[in-house]
């Protein structure tokens, strides 16, 4: 499993990804799922991956080195718009699936993979997309300024409650971490290290790139405070009146 | 979709269920998913249902009137233990699937259904089970004193954080309501009215049975306080230090 998310704010972009992969519970590994394609000042594109690891690695490889059947210029370092970049992720995924899927099916292995791609190219606007397993894609908007892939449900409530495009980068990064922490608590197939990337609007370069290890003091502190706070909040809620006659 | 949960405490049992059913988003209805089989003082058994409505209704019908192929005594009013009751739910489900599944498959319709069953028969201990779609079942334990069916992920974190067998019935009922409220916020296929049933240990009868409507003042108050409290808690968390050099 995996949990990755991207948030598009007026101030910039926040990306976060866990790094656990598993082929069954007896085969757990650590693989980075956050990939940066940067030419500082000219472009920053971040890709997050979920799904079959062989497939997502083959997709990233094409995005770095050129699409299969394309030219060496068909990379995220040369693409001229973010929408073309999202389409390129979809095309790379379709290439890999066309090559591998029949073989994976013969082993009852899952070939599905999903991606988040976001960033900015100088002179153009910041954008954030989710690429589905079929290679089609949708874009984040004012109404829904974030995208999630992988194990998305446990970490969604906090995003729904607090994320708006007007939120500042610092708060959004904290929110992404709480969202991932909630997911880690409920699904053992999602685990640190957590890779985070923050990009300021119009900088077209990495703002902060940070890897949070399992014993990171800030992370463990946030996790503890959130857990204790939830319990305290729950205890502060009024009791139901429809109990009065029996309790 | 559906969300139902059951909690087994030392003090008793708490059950809660939403009541939305849908066959596509253009066909939404309201159906009760919480069923009580009671002979006050002698037995209380509660069954919660999720999945294909025609299947779950046919299962409930057998539990009330007698298993297909069995006798009139094969009902939850006559069964002599809770584990036999869980097995009876599984048997009823297997009967219905054997009859209907081929026809459902020919229409690409889903035949899966899951159940929670819990209660107590006089002189025996309180028990809580989850019956899977295959008709097999598991029992709640000290380690995991609750069971969920349907859309379980959004509402699981609060259960994981606060529910213990030592919790009192009042707090557990409140927790069940918060868990359902979190689910309702994130999945439109889960909605009020919310049916709640509380059973005190060794009473072998309904303690409180309460239907919470969408405009119930306690429910709307809890929902608002929880939402505001989460936002306040989030804002109270310290900011990440790894931002200091850029923000």
pLDDT given for residue A128 in this prediction: 98
For residue B221, give the nearest of A158, A229, A238 by CB distance. Answer: A238
* Residue entry with tokens 């446990």: A154
Say whether residue B144 is in contact with chain A using an 8 A CB cutoff.
Answer: no
- Across the interface, do A237 and B153 touch by the CB < 8 Å criterion? no
Chain A residues whose CB is inside 8 A of the B185 CB are 157, 160
How far is Cα B15 from Cα A241, in angstroms, rounded to an integer? 17
Q: Which fold has domain B3-235?
A: 3.60.20
Q: Beta-strand (E) ranges in B64-207?
A: 113-121, 127-131, 137-139, 146-150, 194-200
Check the CA dihedral A51-A54-A60-A62 and report its sign.
Answer: negative
pLDDT given for residue B247 in this prediction: 46
> pLDDT (tens digit, 0 to 9) for every residue of chain B, 247 residues total?
899 999 999 999 999 999 988 877 788 888 999 999 999 999 999 999 999 999 999 999 999 999 998 888 899 999 999 999 999 999 999 999 999 999 999 999 988 999 999 999 999 999 999 999 999 999 999 999 999 999 999 999 999 999 999 999 999 999 999 999 999 988 888 888 999 999 999 999 999 999 999 999 999 999 999 999 999 999 999 998 876 655 4
Chain A residues whose CB is inside 8 A of the B16 CB are none
Say whether residue B160 is in contact with chain A using an 8 A CB cutoff.
Answer: yes
pLDDT given for residue B23 in this prediction: 78
- Across the interface, do A200 and B170 touch by the CB < 8 Å criterion? no
In chain A, what are the domain boundaries?
3-236
Assigned token pair, A222: 């946030």
Count CB atoms within 10 A of the CB of residue B128.
26
How far is Cα B218 from Cα B220, in angstroms, rounded to an integer? 6
Q: What is the pLDDT of residues A151-202, one digit of tens each?
A: 999 999 899 999 999 999 999 999 999 999 999 988 888 888 999 999 999 9
Phi, psi for A15 (deg, rounded to 5): -125, 145
Say whether residue B247 is in contact with chain A using an 8 A CB cutoff.
Answer: yes
Chain A residues whose CB is inside 8 A of the B146 CB are none
* Residue entry with tokens 């463990």: A220
Count CB atoms within 10 A of the CB of residue B24.
6
pLDDT given for residue B244 in this prediction: 66
Superfamily of domain A3-236: Aminohydrolase, N-terminal nucleophile (Ntn) domain (3.60.20.10)
* Contact map slice: A 6-65 vs B, CB within 8 A: none
CA-based nearest residue in chain A for residue B181: A157
pLDDT given for residue A247 in this prediction: 47
pLDDT given for residue A245 in this prediction: 57
Say whether residue B208 is in contact with chain A using an 8 A CB cutoff.
Answer: yes
Size of interface A-B (CB pairs under 8 A): 131
Q: How confident is the model at residue A64 (pLDDT cuts 50, 70, 90)?
A: very high
Chain B residues whose CB is inside 8 A of the A208 CB are 242-243, 245-246
CA-based nearest residue in chain B for residue A235: B171
Say whether residue A66 is in contact with chain B using an 8 A CB cutoff.
Answer: no
Q: How confident is the model at residue A72 (pLDDT cuts 50, 70, 90)?
A: confident
Contact A111, A98 (CB under 8 A): no
């Amino acid at each position: 499993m995996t949990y990755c998310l991207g948030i598009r704010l007026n101030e910039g972009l926040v990306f976060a990804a866990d790094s656990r992969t598993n082929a069954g519970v007896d085969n757990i590994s650590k693989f980075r799922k956050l990939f940066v394609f940067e030419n500082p000042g000219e472009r920053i594109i971040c890709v997050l991956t979920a799904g079959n690891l062989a497939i997502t690695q083959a997709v990233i490889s094409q995005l770095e080195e050129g699409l299969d059947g394309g030219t060496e210029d068909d990379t995220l370092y040369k693409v001229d718009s973010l929408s073309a970049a999202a389409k390129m992720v979809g095309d790379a995924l379709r290439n890999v699936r066309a090559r591998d899927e029949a073989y994976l099916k013969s082993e009852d292995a899952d070939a599905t993979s999903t991606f988040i791609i976001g960033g900015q190219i100088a002179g153009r606007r910041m954008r954030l997309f989710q690429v589905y397993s079929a290679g089609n894609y949708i874009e984040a908007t004012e109404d829904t300024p974030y995208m999630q892939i992988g194990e998305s449900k446990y970490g969604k409530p906090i995003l729904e409650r607090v994320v708006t495009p007007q939120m500042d980068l610092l708060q959004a990064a904290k929110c992404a971490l709480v969202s991932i922490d909630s997911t880690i608590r409920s699904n053992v197939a999602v685990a640190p290290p957590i890779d985070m990337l923050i990009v300021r609007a119009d900088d077209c370069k990495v703002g902060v790139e940070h890897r949070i290890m399992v014993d990171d003091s800030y992370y463990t502190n946030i996790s503890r405070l959130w857990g204790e706070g939830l319990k305290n909040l729950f205890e502060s809620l009024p009791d139901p009146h429809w109990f009065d006659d029996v309790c």
